[in-house]
Chains A and B, each alone.
Chain A
Amino acid sequence: MDSYGYIFTIDALLSLILIIVIIGVSADAMDIAGTKITDFSNEKSNERIVVDLAEVLIKTPGSPENWEEIKYFNRVTPGLRDIKSNYADNKLSMAKINYLKSNPNLMDKMIPEGLNCSLMIYPTDPSLPAIPVINRTPKDDSEVYIVNRTVSYEYSLYNIYSAIIMDNLENNFNKTGYICHYSSMTNTHKQPDFNKPKPGWICKPFKISAEDFNSTDFYLITYPPVLNDKNSLWLIDRPDNTTGSTQKFTKSPMNINSRINEIWDGNGLLVLHVYTSGASFNRFNVYLVGVPSGTPENNIKVDYIGLKSAYFILKIWN
């Protein structure tokens, strides 16, 4: 204390005020920076979660690999990659997609608590229907993080039991040809030759499980839907039951439940035989497909068969 009774000099007081102001401003700045860092960190964290989740779903078949066949999924980690495809193909399994669709809570186990997600698969061909795997909508005020990847998949509704593809057949036929019972016993089902051209039969075996038999409608689909090969015929029978008669392809798709019911014996091998006139320019493809019982016939189109590309859109939000 000086002779005037002041503890601080004016200089000291001014310095103190300046220091307090600077500390205050710095503290405020730090607070703002801290908040921004937290926001940034959360944002980065959510971005990473959605990217990683997409990677896990697209690039892995899940754990265990056949998780879609398991009834109890306490220790299941879903992945959608088709087990038969390569890592780089981004090919998804429709069986896994459908199973995840009917058990959306499996996805909730893969994201942190407090987050929500949706997963849609939009085919690049707009005529194909979108697949809402996890169909949820974020609130208006939610901050949404999105990943968009290109994937491929075999269309969902169809299980292709047998496919006779006549394109490039001459290159592969001798390697892959199935010798049917007519060919080896009566020497009648000779192979076609598109180079000469020479008519003939293309035959392929297939099996239907008891579970599929009870829950599936069976169709023959041709491509093109109206065949130029007017002599084409089809027949389905068993090596040990050749009671069926050949039929023409009257329309596509063609319901063949009655024929399958007649010929299916529980566990035996069935054979699809297709006759072609052998004219190269009249080649066609035939698919024997199974769809869930009751599927409307107008939902069964040849366009839906085969590998389709699609956008895999995964969203997460708080």
Chain B
Amino acid sequence: MDLITLDNKGYVISGLTLLLIIPALIMSLMLVNLINMDESTDQIKYDSLYHISNDLDANIPVLTREVLKENTAKVLMDGHAIPNSRMVIKTGLQTKIDDITENYGKETGASIQCTIKSINSPSDPYEIEIESEIVVNKENNSINRNISQNVSFMETEPKGKSVDCRIPDPLPFIKTKKYGAISVDGNRIHYGSTLSQYLKSKGINNSQIYENASSPLYFKPCPYDPYTSHGSCNMLINLKNCIDNGYYHKSNDGACLLCRLEGKATCDHMGLETFIVPLAGNYSELNGPCSIDHVIFSENGPQGYGTYPGKVVEYYYSYNRSNGIYLDNGHRNKYGISL
């Protein structure tokens, strides 16, 4: 019923129609507000997806170290190299990430996918480069991030942590596997007869020098930097302290960790090298295979080895026993030891 009674002459809008316009206007305003609220909700949802992706991002370095530790431990146990270590590490990491994303997806109600795209050796040999893609979807919102992280596997102080995160050097175990077991004592590898047997099998002269030799077990960066400071002091005391503490040094020739897992002593990436130290007193020879690990284990020469000789460097003498290593001119220069 019309509220205002009018006849049919000349009236465009009836009173009721007019009244109907008002709620229509109010509803339009409400609709506009609703759309704005939806936008705010969308932003909040996007933030939550971003946090999920960041949590995954933070987990990648921890999981990478776990996978590296598992694989190096396996090599230490069986002495078998891991061909295509990058693919193996990538697969191991992907499996661990998948476990996390599945559980995380159930907790958050989001569809989470983290794909490890590649594992590489960066310019810092104490790191591994991980490239990954994280895709998170939830209720029509999605986020896609491509991430590149350099994960350090360097020994750090545990500071009371129960988990030992140090990564051992797998190369000596792979190279000497055929020649008997090598023993580990704390932070050092003791080769017994294995290393001298290994060198002898290659036909390298004076291989007996490395009877009962030892080398460090864990990767630890040398604080004597620049490296020339090893030899620039009296009595080579810095070189002795470096050897006692089992430090590693950056090297263009030495293999990176991933190539070491493959059983390679040298590679094209920026790598590491350390000293393999003959037992004190074994210096009846003035020349012997160079005491740098990538030189001793190198198999890149025409005769099946790339080991070259060095001259003895005696860095400490006590109780009628001399401690020394053999270094070629190139490595003498690198460590500041006079020729």
A and B: bona fide binding partners: yes
B223–A239 touching, CB < 8 Å: no
Please state if B54 and A176 are interface contacts (CB–CB under 8 Å): no
- Which residues of A sit under 8 angstroms from B4, Cβ to Cβ? 11, 14-15
The interface residues of chain B lying within 8 Å CB-to-CB of A26 are 22, 25
Whether A184 contacts B240 by the Cβ 8 Å rule is: yes
Option from B32, B40, B54, B166 in Cβ contact (under 8 Å) with A44: B40
Knowing A9-B10, A207-B223 touch, does A240 contact B234 (C-beta < 8 A)?
A: yes
The answer to the question of A172 belonging to the interface, with a C-beta cut-off of 8 Å to chain B, is: yes
A180-B245 Cα distance, complex, nearest whole Å: 8
**Prevailing SS type, chain A contact patch:** helix
Task: Tell me the nearest residue of chain A to B21, going by C-beta.
Answer: A22
Among candidates B11, B160, B226, B244, residue contacting A171 with C-beta atoms closer than 8 Å:
B160
Q: Is the pair A184, B244 in contact by a Cβ cutoff of 8 Å?
A: yes
Shortest CB-to-CB span from A29 to chain B, Å, is 8
**Cβ 8 A contact of B11, one of A12, A167, A181:** A12
Interface-central residue, B10, B11, B25, B237, by most chain A CB under 10 Å: B237
- Asked if B115 is an interface residue, CB under 8 A from chain A, the answer is no
Query: Which of A22, A87, A167, A269 meets B58, CB within 8 Å?
Result: A87
CB-CB under 8 A for A172 and B160, given A12-B11, A26-B25, A240-B233: yes
Contact B238 A87 (CB under 8 A): no
Interface membership of B183, Cβ < 8 A: no
A138 close to chain B: CB less than 8 A: no
User: Are B237 and A239 in touch, CB under 8 angstroms?
Assistant: yes
- Complex Cα–Cα for A37 and B226 (A): 64
CB-CB under 8 A from A41, the residues of chain B are: 36
Measured CB to CB, the closest approach of chain A to B166, in angstroms, equals 7
- Write the nearest CB–CB distance from B322 to chain A, whole angstroms: 14
Interface string of B53-70 (1 = CB under 8 A from A): 011011000000000000
Interface presence of A226 (CB below 8 A) = no
- A207 / chain B contacts, CB cutoff of 8 Å: 223
Looking at the assembled complex, report how far the CB atom of B190 sits from the nearest CB atom of chain A, in whole angstroms.
16
- Decide if A268 is an interface residue (CB 8 Å cutoff): yes
* Interface hits, A224-240 → B, CB 8 Å: 239-240
**Contact call A12/B241, Cβ cutoff below 8 A:** no
List, in ascending order, chain B residues with CB within 8 A of A9's CB: 9-10
Instruction: Report how far A55 CA is from B96 CA in the complex, Å.
Output: 28
Cβ–Cβ < 8 Å partners of A87 in chain B: 54-55, 57-58
CB contacts under 8 Å to B, within A19-60, are 19, 22, 26, 30, 33, 37, 41, 44, 48, 59
Residues 17-45 of B at the A interface (beta carbon under 8 Å): 18, 22, 25, 29, 32-33, 36, 40, 43
Interface presence of B78 (CB below 8 A): no
Chain A, 84-113, contact with B by CB distance < 8 Å: what is the 0/1 string?
001110000000000000000000000000
Contact B238 A86 (CB under 8 A): no
A176 to B55, CA, bound (A): 30
Please determine whether A12 and B10 come into contact, CB atoms closer than 8 angstroms: yes
Contact A185 B318 (CB under 8 A): yes
**How many whole Å from A283's CB to the nearest CB in chain B?**
14
Chain A-chain B contacts (Cβ-Cβ < 8 Å), number: 90
The interface residues of chain A lying within 8 Å CB-to-CB of B234 are: 240
Tell me which residues across on chain B come within 8 A of A59, comparing CB atoms: 54
- Check B104 for interface membership: any CB of A closer than 8 A: no
Checking B54, B186, B237 against A181 with a beta-carbon cut-off of 8 angstroms, the contacting residue is B237
A184 touches B241 (CB 8 A): yes
Those of B226-268 within 8 Å (CB) of chain A: 226, 229, 233-235, 237-238, 240-241, 244-245
Q: Please, what's the 1-or-0 string for A143-162, where 1 marks a CB less than 8 Å from any CB in chain B?
A: 00000000000000000000
Q: Of B15, B40, B226, B233, which contacts A239 at CB under 8 A?
A: B233
Q: How far is the CB of B81 from chain A (nearest CB, A)?
A: 27
Query: Is B99 in the interface zone, CB < 8 Å from A?
Result: no
Alpha-carbon distance A120/B229, docked complex (angstroms): 44
Residues of B within 8 A of A48 (CB): 43
Taking a contact as CB atoms under 8 Å apart, the answer to whether A240 and B237 are in contact is yes
Question: Once bound together, how far apart are the Cα atoms of A267 and B233, in whole Å?
Answer: 12
Which residues of B, 50-90, contact A by the 8 Å Cβ criterion?
54-55, 57-58
Q: Are A178 and B22 in contact (CB under 8 A)?
A: no
The 4 closest A-B pairs by CB, nearest first: A240-B233, A87-B58, A184-B244, A179-B244
Further 13 A-B residue pairs, CB within 8 A, beyond A15-B4, A59-B54, A184-B241: A11-B11, A14-B4, A41-B36, A88-B54, A88-B55, A88-B58, A172-B160, A174-B186, A175-B164, A176-B157, A181-B237, A207-B223, A239-B241
Question: Could you list 25 A-B pairs, sorted by A, with CB under 8 Å?
Answer: A11-B4, A12-B10, A22-B18, A22-B22, A26-B25, A37-B32, A37-B33, A48-B43, A167-B160, A172-B157, A172-B158, A175-B158, A176-B157, A179-B245, A180-B241, A185-B237, A185-B240, A207-B223, A239-B238, A239-B241, A240-B234, A268-B229, A268-B238, A269-B223, A269-B229
- B: which residues have CB within 8 A of A? 4, 6, 9-11, 13, 15, 18, 22, 25, 29, 32-33, 36, 40, 43, 54-55, 57-58, 157-160, 164, 166, 186-187, 223-224, 226, 229, 233-235, 237-238, 240-241, 244-245, 316, 318
Binding site for B on A (CB under 8 A): 9, 11-12, 14-15, 18-19, 22, 26, 30, 33, 37, 41, 44, 48, 59, 86-88, 165, 167-168, 171-172, 174-176, 178-181, 184-185, 205, 207, 239-240, 267-269
